[in-house]
Structure 1
Amino acid sequence: MSKNEPIQKIEDADNLFASKKETNFGVNANLANEQGAPLCNTAPPKYNGTQILRSGVDSLYLSFNGDVRSGLLSQLQDKKALAQAGGHSGKAFAALGLAGIPFKVHAKGQNMHPFVISNHHFRMRIAGSQAGKVPPLYVEISSELLSCCGYESSVQAAREFAEAILNDADSGSISRIDLCVDFTSSIDWQSVDAKRWRCRSNHRALYLESEQLLGNVFGQSGDVSARLYDKTKEIVKSEKFFFKELWQQNGWDGESSVWRLEFQLRREALKTCQSLNPDFIIELFNSLWRYYTTQWLSLCNVNPKDSNRSRWPLAAEWQTLSTAKFNPQPVEDIRRLNFESVPSDETIFVGATGYLTSFMVKYEYKSLAEALTAYPEHAKRYFKTAENKHISFDAYVEKKVAEKKVKFVKLGKLLESEK
């Protein structure tokens, strides 16, 4: 999901959605098998102009129980103090190695967890010696790791970290999971007639990113919520460009808009699945998806002769989406990935080139070399005359470099320097 939360809530006072009934989802663990063998993601189905490109887990939040290792607590306290000092001096954060993977130690904790560590693919909250009833460890796994290395490999890595952090760590339980399907379609999803939606929540919101309308959210802030939005527009802001390669592997033409249907399921919604164990939930992915796309949210064809919306038939395009299957990706070694907290080359060079070409057009420079030579002088004049800038250009550059040293950390080098 995007960093920005959806906004502009719309109350459905006129009963926009048909059903408001509370539902307990008693999952049949054999339902996936009863529905037949999962479809192969390399041969996605295409009906009625709707083509499924991929399905998978986009976000995964795990909690682990056990006792935080006393030796690790003292390390974390020391490194947190170093990180707090570094935040003022512009030096890089402290680094910590766990199970052979480097992490950045943050200067601040979160909620009841005094310690936060992170890298490009994991963010973990660790409790102190007085944790109380709070789970001592929360692990958030990135969509990139889940998409590129698979659910099982990602869970296994989280368990290895839990064993390095906790004495007698359990196997973990799911606090939140987001199931998603990416697809292309001939439908203009932004202009779908509102009365065609049938949803168990009576709350709907617009999904905005930097004031750009991307889609809609159903059941916002609830134990279950759904998002339907233009993913090709969203990744321009989130910079998750790796999705393009995954889509192309499954038949994307590189130009069509790719939409995402995503269900966010929190712990309370998953409790009716009989177990929150990640190894058990994976067996229910197909069943969960089928339920939530047919019983919780659905797009229907209007039947003017029937006033009961619950009897309206599913739209053909929605039927295609509801049949998506969730195949685990091949097990991959996550240690081959880059865990450094640095921006990608695509982000740097595509973004910088966009601004430089605008600069060339505005000031009528014909070559990039000429523009690069002239850029510092233009910038210095701007900072000298701008009313809202009370700093020189050189001082501003120095300030931003110091901030980026804190934000973007070469974790591996930091660990090597400590040896």
Structure 2
Amino acid sequence: MHPSVLAALVKLKACAQSEHPEEQAQAQYPLGTHIFEVKDRGAGRFPFVLVDNTYRIQLSKPGKKLPMAYVQVSAEYLAHRGPVAVESELQALLSELGVLSGPNRVSRIDLAADFSTPVVMDSWHRCAWVTRATEIHSYAKDQKFTGWTIGMGGVMGCRLYDKVQEIVNTGKAWVMNQWIPMGWKPGESVWRLEFEFKRDFLKDRKLTSLESVLANLNGLWSYATTEWLRLTVPNELDGTRSRWPTHALWIALASVDWESTDAVLLDKCSTTRNPTELRLITVVLGSLVSFMAMHRIVDRNEAIDQLLTRLYEHYSTVAIKQGLSFDEYLARRIALKGREFNTAINAPGLVDNLKQDFEDEGADAYRRASKGE
């Protein structure tokens, strides 16, 4: 990492840890088209964490026996750009932070296939799973079956789960934009079969570069669905489970071709972490309805006016206690949300100024030393 970048990150992290909201709002690091939030805490041995909707970048200090950066890419962004384009962009972004040496290494990949089927996903007993893993778990929510996990926590694991239910729980509806071109219609169930391959598994098979991983996706999927795990049709007359016939659903899933050119990339993916407008509207409506019920108001315009007046009066009092006007208080709150949502740079030029201050201090120290001061 460049020394000036390190100096800037140290000060930005201190801003994030500040008790003063105006300083917290400045904890941002613009890179390319991204406005990263600088977190107030590191992650393990990585003292600095930068986050937006596309990347979570963990940065180490120079001199440590660690890679300069450990990066988690959001699934949505991968679905928009594709892994090769993402690696290229990351290379450019990280080059602004320091000198990159050595090859990029893949530490984990998730391979997933989404599908619709009339097969009931809990219609078999757990003994139907023939696997090298030792742990098999099933899950349900509100009496509705939601999925299986096999071998999670090891060097590889499997999840088979109700993807629509997961979207309901998380709000990550972007994946539906990949289903629609493939013929999916709202209301249809979709399940996801997902395999997680961790660093040790990939390293043992010399699959550490993105190029090597992408060249072996079919092999990884084949190993996962034929050698490591199979869904079978149990045969009570045969005690050797490895001879049990493979379930028809599993045969279809195992035949997924990862070299197919039919993949659908998302048209867009924002770098911001904005909440949906529907979520905001829902919150506002809930507040308005509650206010109208509390005060027995039936006219919505009257209720809106009164609610806004109460809001202004309350937060004007809060602002005065902090030595601010209402508008100044509002601007401060907006700046904090801008940092959280990655939507606006609250202190334009701050990072460049911090880096320049470091360079100037170094030059000044050199001049003093050269004069014997």
Q: Under a length normalisation based on structure 1, what TM-score does the superposition of the two structures give?
A: 0.68
Q: Report what 2:255 is aligned to.
A: 323
Structure 1 residue 367, shift from structure 2 partner: 8.1
Q: Report what 2:30 is aligned to.
A: 97
Structure 1 residue 166, shift from structure 2 partner: 2.7
Matched-pair contact (CA < 8 Å) for 1:83–1:92: yes
Structure 1 residue 201, shift from structure 2 partner: 0.7
Structure 1 residue 96, shift from structure 2 partner: 1.3
Structure 2, unmatched stretches of 5+, are: 312-328, 353-373
Q: Which protein, 1 or 2, shows the higher relative CO under an 8 Å CA cutoff with sep ≥ 6?
A: 1
Q: Does 1:226 align with 2:180?
A: no
Q: Report what 2:44 is aligned to.
A: 111
Q: Report what 2:283 is aligned to.
A: 352
The verdict on how the C-alpha distance between 1:88 and 1:374 changes in structure 2, with shifts beyond 3 A counting, is: closer
Please give the residue correspondences for 1:240-389 in structure 2 after superposition, counting only pairs within 5 Å.
Answer: 240-326=172-258, 327=260, 337-349=269-281, 351-352=282-283, 355=286
Matched-pair contact (CA < 8 Å) for 1:90–1:402: no
1:328-358 Cα distance to aligned partner (Å, 9 max, x none): 7889899x74212322334434x43784798
1:194-253 Cα distance to aligned partner (Å, 9 max, x none): 121111111123457899863121112111111111111111222211111111111111
Structure 1, unmatched stretches of 5+, are: 1-67, 380-396
1:340 alignment partner AA: T
Q: Does 1:167 align with 2:99?
A: yes
1:276-321 Cα distance to aligned partner (Å, 9 max, x none): 0011110111111111011111111122332111111111111111
Secondary structure of residue in 2 paired with 1:310: helix
Matched-pair contact (CA < 8 Å) for 2:178–2:265: no
Secondary structure of residue in 1 paired with 2:136: strand
Matched-pair contact (CA < 8 Å) for 2:80–2:266: no
Secondary structure of residue in 1 paired with 2:86: helix
Query: 1: CA distance between counterparts of 2:189 and 2:251?
Result: 20
Q: Report what 1:123 is aligned to.
A: 56
Secondary structure of residue in 2 paired with 1:173: coil
Query: 1: CA distance between counterparts of 2:142 and 2:305?
Result: 32
Give runs of ≥4 in structure 1 deviating > 6 Å.
208-212, 328-334, 360-368, 373-379
Structure 1 residue 414, shift from structure 2 partner: 2.9
Please give the residue correspondences for 1:59-208 in structure 2 after superposition, counting only pairs within 5 Å.
Answer: 68-85=1-18, 91-131=24-64, 133-207=65-139
Structure 1 residue 153, shift from structure 2 partner: 1.4
Matched-pair contact (CA < 8 Å) for 2:339–2:346: no
Secondary structure of residue in 2 paired with 1:245: helix
Structure 1 residue 176, shift from structure 2 partner: 0.8
1:114 alignment partner AA: P
1:94 alignment partner AA: A
Secondary structure of residue in 2 paired with 1:408: helix
Matched-pair contact (CA < 8 Å) for 1:86–1:92: no
Query: 2: CA distance between counterparts of 1:371 and 1:260?
Result: 46
Matched-pair contact (CA < 8 Å) for 2:31–2:93: yes
Query: 2: CA distance between counterparts of 1:325 and 1:358?
Result: 52
Q: Report what 1:387 is aligned to.
A: none
Q: Give the number of the structure whose residues are more often strand, by fraction.
A: 1
The verdict on how the C-alpha distance between 1:204 and 1:82 changes in structure 2, with shifts beyond 3 A counting, is: same
Matched-pair contact (CA < 8 Å) for 1:343–1:408: no
The verdict on how the C-alpha distance between 1:357 and 1:242 changes in structure 2, with shifts beyond 3 A counting, is: farther
Secondary structure of residue in 1 paired with 2:216: helix
Query: 2: CA distance between counterparts of 1:331 and 1:265?
Result: 23
Query: 2: CA distance between counterparts of 1:359 and 1:415?
Result: 38
Query: 2: CA distance between counterparts of 1:178 and 1:82?
Result: 35
Larger radius of gyration: 2
Identical pairs, percent: 25
Number of residue equivalences: 332
Q: Under a length normalisation based on structure 2, what TM-score does the superposition of the two structures give?
A: 0.76
